[in-house]
Amino acid sequence: MQEHVYIHPSANVSDKARIGAGTKIWINVQIRENAQIGEGCILSKDVYVDHAVHIGDRCKIQNSVSVYNGVSIGDDVFVGPNVAFTNDRVPRAFNPDWRITETRVESGASIGANATIVCGITIGEYAMVAAGSVVTKNVAPYTLVMGNPARPAGKIDKMGNRLPEGDGHEQ
């Protein structure tokens, strides 16, 4: 464990997890073995980080998000409250051979509250997923998606401002 990490007394953090300096871990958070969390992150109430999950620097993971094995998160990523990640594309309780399907959230991306992320996709750099979306396909960098299923709704800049149509340059 690094120095300058705040861990609320109610949190359950494996001593085999690596947590970067300045990260704050709030009420009832659970962090499993071999998870790696970067510097300056905030993990809000009831977050669950599965074993061997990697989370970058300066991420904000909001209340009640479970980041399952197979999900990896870059730097500066925002994950809104109750976002549902998945890691089993065709779940069956009685299938003993189920396999993890990976999902990647690239640096700078944001995912709005209550979105569902169907596994096997990449959410590109600085992309934004609108609240409540169900994301079933890759999201291109600097792209806003919304709806169920989530569809591209335009390009955005680093701050999330809409760019005029046809102005797809990345900045």
Ligand X SMILES: CC(C)(COP(=O)(O)OP(=O)(O)OC[C@H]1O[C@@H](n2cnc3c(N)ncnc32)[C@H](O)[C@@H]1OP(=O)(O)O)[C@@H](O)C(=O)NCCC(=O)NCCS
Answer yes or no whether residue 113 interacts with ligand X by CB under 6 A: yes
Pairing of the two strands 110-111 and 60-61: unpaired
Q: Which of 42, 132, 138, 163 binds ligand X (CB under 6 A)?
A: 132
Q: For residue 130, state whether it binds ligand X (rule: CB under 6 A).
A: yes
> Residue 157 and residue 73: Cα distance in Å, rounded?
20
Whole-number minimum distance, CB 113 to ligand X, in Å? 4
Applying CB under 6 A, which of residues 108, 112, 124, 141 lies at the interface with ligand X? Answer: 112
Q: Is residue 131 a contact residue for ligand X (CB under 6 A)?
A: yes
CB of 63 to ligand X, least distance (A): 10
Alpha-carbon distance of 158 to 24, in angstroms, equals 25
99 binding ligand X? (CB under 6 A): no
Residue nearest to ligand X (CB): 112
According to the binding rule CB under 6 A, does residue 118 interact with ligand X? no
Min separation Cβ 131 and ligand X, Å: 4
Radius of gyration of the chain (CA): 16
Task: Determine the Cα–Cα distance for residues 100 and 138; give it in Å rounded to an integer.
Answer: 17
Q: Does 38 bind ligand X (CB under 6 A)?
A: no
Give the total of residues touching ligand X (CB under 6 A): 10
21 CB-near residues (< 8 Å, 6+ apart): 2, 3, 4, 5, 39, 40
Q: How far apart are CA 115 and CA 144, in angstroms?
A: 13
Exactly one of 151, 162, 167, 168 binds ligand X (CB under 6 A); which one? 162
Per-residue CA distances from 104 to 26, 40, 82 (Å): 24, 20, 18
Minimal distance, residue 130 CB to ligand X, in Å: 3
Residues in contact with ligand X by CB under 6 A are 80, 112-113, 128, 130-132, 146-147, 162
